[in-house]
């Protein structure tokens, strides 16, 4: 039932909803946390598949869904994080962090 | 010939405030000259003049108080207020650096990895040398209190022993800290972690050196019979300063070394 709720939420998505964890004007942490969440999500089912894959340093949304599908897990968390950080984060930040992930210099804990 | 009909001290004209101000000017402009033109001359001149000013000004105060008897009870009260106000101003000085530390560490930015210590920083183990340093300073607080009590009881020998021990502990702290600085895996240039760490602990270390020097002067004075069991404000001022230095370290240790790791 949760899955239908999330699917419904994604379908009706307009922009990032209020998140009580980040109540103040400075939403930097909100953006960063969702970007991390997105990139942790596909690493979480750590066991085998991503470690064998060629360039696991790429925060590949498609890889996220693929990995979670392979595990038979619900893939909607990935999409949710992606939507939220795409709504919140400045594009230059996303590009910078993606480049850092590629280079292996991303400072966040993934 | 008129005699003084009050208990206060009208100080004779002295050149040391002027030389002190001149030293301040030479040091500030000397710093700027060093930054831009690579010459240390003006800075050295300023530092030399500062040292001479301090030595001669405080020597004169000792002459006025200990040898000429100008430090009556009201005068001593004023000196006490002065020392307390000065130490209070130093508390605010350190408060600023603690503010800076907490500002950066309570909400670490994405550039740092959103975590504290920042990604890539290996902080010092708080339970190794820093803990020893804490023990050393706490012990020195005990020895300086022992020295004070000995002084008040007229026990000359023990006062000298306790004061000497306090100074030795102070020097021990300084050398341990110097070794830590040398061996540490991060520098002052290593982001906001390095900046807050070395500026806060560095100024503290400077204050330990100042406090140790103040205590050493008291030791020399005690050996030369300057202090009585009732009147030894110079020593009390040094002891207050020393306790202040100890308390600042405790805050540094808990905040930066322990919580901050």
- CA dist., res. B128 & res. B126, Å (int): 6
- The dihedrals phi and psi of B35, each to the nearest 5 degrees, come to -60, -45
Nearest to A61 by CA among A46, A47, A41, A44: A41
Which of B36, B70, B104 represents a domain boundary (last residue)?
B70
Asked if B61 and B86 sit in the same domain, the reply is no
Task: Give the total number of structural domains in chain B.
Answer: 2
Quote the pLDDT of residue A57: 44
User: Is residue B132 over pLDDT 70?
Assistant: yes
pLDDT in tens, B141-178: 999 999 999 999 999 999 999 999 999 999 999 999 99
Smallest Cα distance from B108 to chain A, Å: 9
pLDDT range class, residue A48, cuts 50, 70, 90? very low
If asked whether residues B164 and B82 sit together in one domain, one would say yes
CB B261 within 8 A of CB B124: yes
Minimal Cα–Cα distance from A84 to chain B, Å?
17
- Residue B199, pLDDT score: 98
Q: What percent of chain B has pLDDT over 90?
A: 98
pLDDT digits 0-9 by tens, B222-253? 999 999 999 999 999 999 999 999 999 999 99
* b/e map B166-196, b = 16+ CB within 10 Å: bbebbebbbeebeebeeebebeeebbbbbbb
Interval B59-117: pLDDT, tens:
999 999 999 999 999 999 999 999 999 999 999 999 999 999 999 999 999 999 999 99
Nearest-Cα distance to chain B for A28, in Å, is: 8
Q: Do B114 and B49 reside in the same domain of the chain?
A: no
pLDDT over threshold 60, residue A61: no
The CATH number of the domain holding residue B17 is: 1.10.287.70
What is the pTM for the complete model shown? Answer: 0.88
Beta strands in chain B (DSSP E): none
Q: How far is A32 from chain B (nearest CA, A)?
A: 7
Q: Residue B130's closest CA among B168, B180, B165?
A: B180
Two tokens at A54?
């060629």
In angstroms, what CA-CA distances link B207 with B170, B201, B242? 11, 10, 9
Alpha carbon distance B126, B132 (integer Å) = 9
The answer to whether the Cβ–Cβ distance between B107 and A93 falls below 8 Å is no
B70 to B4, B12, B113, B146, B170: CA distances (angstroms): 11, 11, 61, 28, 32
Higher-scoring residue by pLDDT: A80, B157:
B157
Please enumerate in sequence order all residues whose Cβ is within 8 A of that of B9, keeping only pairs 6 or more positions apart, or say none.
B64, B70, B71, B72, B75
Are residues B206 and B96 part of one domain? Answer: yes
CB burial of residue A58 (10 Å; 0-12, 13-18, 19+)? middle
What value does the CA radius of gyration of chain A take, rounded to a whole number of Å?
14
Q: Do B119 and A109 make contact, defined as CB atoms within 8 angstroms? A: yes
Q: Do B113 and A36 touch (CB under 8 A)?
A: no
User: Is B231 in the same domain as B108?
Assistant: yes
Structure confidence at residue A3 as a pLDDT band (50, 70, 90): low
Residues in chain A closer than 8 A to B109 (CB atoms): 28
CA atoms within 13 A on the CB side of B203: 16
Residue A7's pLDDT is 77
On the question of pLDDT at A55 being above 50, the answer is no
- B80 and B184 co-located in one domain: yes
Q: Which CATH number is B165's domain given?
A: 1.20.120.80
CB contact under 8 A, B110 and A109: no
The answer to whether residue A36 neighbours chain B at the CB level (below 8 Å) is yes
Interface residue of B114, B116, B119 to substitute, partner A, most A CBs within 10 Å:
B114
Same domain, B12 and B84: no
Q: Are residues B63 and B184 in the same domain?
A: no
**Residue B226 and residue B152 share a domain:** yes
B104 and B32 assigned to the same domain: no
For residue A72, pLDDT over 80 is answered with no
For residue B117, say if its preceding peptide bond is cis, omega within 30 degrees of 0.
Answer: yes
Among A80-89, B82-91, B141-150, B189-198, which stretch is predicted with the lowest mean pLDDT? A80-89
The domain containing residue B164 runs over which residues? 72-258
Q: Which of B70, B93, B118 is the last residue of a domain?
A: B70
pLDDT reading at A87 higher than 70: yes
Q: Please check whether residues B34 and B119 belong to one and the same domain.
A: no
Same domain, yes or no: B1 and B100? no
Q: In the predicted model, what is the mean pLDDT of residues B2-31?
A: 96
Q: CA torsion A95→A96→A102→A104, rounded to 10°?
A: -160
ipTM over 0.90: no
Of B70, B93, B121, the residue that ends a domain is B70
Q: What is the pLDDT of residue A64?
A: 64
Q: Which of A24-33, A57-66, B31-40 has the lowest mean pLDDT?
A: A57-66
User: Mean of the pLDDT values across residues B202-217?
Assistant: 98
């Amino acid at each position: 039932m949760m899955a239908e709720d999330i699917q419904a939420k994604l379908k009706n998505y307009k922009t990032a909803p209020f998140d009580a964890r980040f109540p103040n004007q400075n939403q930097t942490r909100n953006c960063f946390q969702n970007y991390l969440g997105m990139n942790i999500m596909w690493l979480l089912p750590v066991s085998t598949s991503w470690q064998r894959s060629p360039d696991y340093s790429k925060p590949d949304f498609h890889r996220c869904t693929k990995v979670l599908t392979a595990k038979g897990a619900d893939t909607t968390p990935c999409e949710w994080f992606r939507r939220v950080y795409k709504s919140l984060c400045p594009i230059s930040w996303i590009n910078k962090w993606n480049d850092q992930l590629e280079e292996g210099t991303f400072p966040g804990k993934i | 010939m008129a005699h003084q009909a009050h208990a206060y001290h009208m100080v004779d004209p002295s050149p040391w405030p002027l030389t002190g101000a001149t030293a301040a000017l030479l040091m500030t402009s000397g710093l700027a000259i060093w930054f831009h033109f690579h010459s240390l001359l003006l800075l050295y001149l300023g530092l030399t003049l500062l040292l001479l000013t301090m030595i001669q000004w405080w020597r004169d105060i000792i002459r006025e108080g200990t040898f000429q008897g100008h430090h009556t009870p009201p005068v001593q009260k004023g000196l006490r207020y002065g020392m307390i106000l000065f130490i209070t101003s130093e508390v605010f000085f350190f408060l600023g650096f603690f503010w800076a530390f907490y500002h950066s560490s309570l909400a670490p930015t994405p550039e740092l990895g959103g975590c504290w210590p920042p990604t890539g920083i290996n902080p010092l183990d708080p339970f190794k040398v820093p803990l020893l340093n804490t023990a050393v300073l706490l012990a020195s607080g005990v020895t300086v209190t022992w020295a004070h009590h000995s002084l008040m009881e007229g026990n000359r020998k023990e006062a000298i022993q306790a004061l000497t021990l306090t100074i030795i502990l102070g020097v021990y702290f300084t050398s341990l800290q110097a070794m830590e600085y040398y061996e540490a895996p991060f520098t002052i240039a290593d982001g906001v972690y390095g900046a807050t760490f070395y500026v806060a602990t560095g100024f503290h270390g400077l204050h330990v050196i100042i406090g140790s020097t103040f205590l050493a002067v008291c030791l020399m004075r005690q050996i030369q019979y300057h202090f009585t069991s009732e009147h030894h404000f110079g020593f009390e001022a040094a002891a207050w300063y020393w306790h202040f230095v100890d308390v600042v370290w405790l805050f540094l240790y808990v905040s930066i070394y322990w919580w901050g790791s």
